[in-house]
A = this chain, B = another copy of it.
Amino acid sequence: MQTPDDGARARRPEPGTADTVVLDVDGTLVDSVYHHVWAWQHAFAEVGVDVPLWQVHRAIGMGGDRLVAAVAGDAVERGVGDRLREVHDEAYERVVRTVRPLPGAEDLVTTLLEQGWRVGVASSGTREQTATALELLPDAHRLDAVVAGPDVDTTKPAADIARLCVERAGGSAGLLVGDTVWDVRTAGALGGACLGVLTGGFSEAELLDAGAFAVVGSAEDVPAALHDLAPHHRGAVTPSTREVPRA
């Protein structure tokens, strides 16, 4: 039976249409979305701006340069945007030691490399936040590319960050894995597909409605969901023929 918004949902991509998996970080690899919500709450409280926290939560994953205006309006962004980001970053820093990897994230890069993908991460966070998150993943040194918010002029949901990630990974077409509608829209802007995970607290319906071609529980379930789409199934790239750069 069809549902009214089937039209808005993406079809499963054809095998061979992508060679690079672009992984989101917060909420996809590490369990930091609620830490970011907490840090933004702290920041908004400090400048006396009232913002319902569920709206902050739903804005996590777009760049911090966009989040303030998106949840509190342009006037707040113009007035105290930089101060808010400063307080957020300081507050996040204070709780970052309690961030844990999400189920299945610790060996996800290795498993995807074994499936023949090029693998990169593209995070809207700062370089430092992204590096700290990747320290939780034993195989992060095997990543083909790491791109953080400051590496591009325009963060998610613009395509720039994902495009640069694919380029740095030496790939030609990206498939995104992310937990937010911003990841899904970034994939759309890139002309690629997005697999959703539930670990950021967006619901399955929200991710499907945004255009994810499928939604799985967590990083743990990603390799199975990408297995049939992976390059080793089309024989284009095999792990033995490619060099994995060590960061």
Measuring CB to CB, which residues of chain A are less than 8 angstroms from any residue of chain B?
Answer: 1-4, 27, 31, 33-35, 37-38, 41-42, 45, 50, 52-54, 56-58, 98, 100, 102-103, 198-206, 218
Contacts and interface: CB of A to CB of B under 8 A. Distances in A.
A2 B202 CA distance: 24
6 contacts: A34-B34, A37-B37, A41-B98, A52-B102, A54-B200, A54-B201
Contact of A218 (B2, B3, B52): B52
A56 B103 CA distance: 14
Label chain A's interface by main secondary structure: helix
A170 to B, nearest CB: 32
A53 B31 contact: yes
A59 to B, nearest CB: 12
Given A1-B4, A34-B37, A98-B45, A202 B203 contact: yes
Given A37-B37, A38-B38, A205-B205, 5 more contacts: A34-B38, A35-B41, A52-B103, A52-B199, A54-B201
Contacts of A2: 1
Nearest to A101: B50
A33 B53 CA distance: 8
A102 B205 CA distance: 25
B201 A53 contact: yes
Given A3-B3, A34-B41, A38-B34, A100 B50 contact: yes
Contacts of A31: 52-53
Contacts of A102: 52
Nearest to A98: B45
Contacts of A56: 34
Given A3-B4, A4-B3, A38-B38, A199 B98 contact: no
Contact of A201 (B38, B41, B201, B218): B201
